[in-house]
Amino acid sequence: KTREALQWVPGTEVNTVERCAGHDGTWGVKVEFYAESMRIGKPVFSRMGEGEPNFVSSDCPIAGRRIMQGIEEKGGESRARKEHPLTLLRIAYGLD
């Protein structure tokens, strides 16, 4: 439903990636699992970083942080901002 709501905004392009970002609560931040976590999320990081997006968003705030981390580790600084989907709607309609 998030994708559908964001697509209501005129002139908006939404790139949906339905795949695990590899965080899984505290598992993905533990030293012994971190590398595996980042490997699991790599396809998401690649797809979400395609085309230099203005924003990166996820229904899950933890996944959103991990996606930004993966994009930045892969290619350095990203110009994208991480925002919650509802915040993106507020920005789009000037309610921010």
Averaged confidence pLDDT in the chain: 87
* CA dihedral sign of residues 34, 37, 42, 45: negative
Interval 79-95 mean pLDDT? 90
CA angle 92, 96, 94 (to 5 degrees): 40
Band of pLDDT at residue 94, cut at 50, 70 and 90: confident
Q: Read off the pLDDT of residues 44-58 as tens digits, 9 standing for 90 and up.
A: 998 888 888 889 888
Say what the pLDDT of residue 76 is: 62
Cβ-Cβ contacts under 8 Å for 67 (sequence gap 6 or more)? 21, 41, 44, 45, 48, 56, 58, 82
In sequence order, the β-bridge partners of residue 81 are: 55
In the prediction, which pLDDT does 77 show?
65
Band (pLDDT 50/70/90 cuts) for residue 36 is: very high
Structure tokens at 29: 């931040």
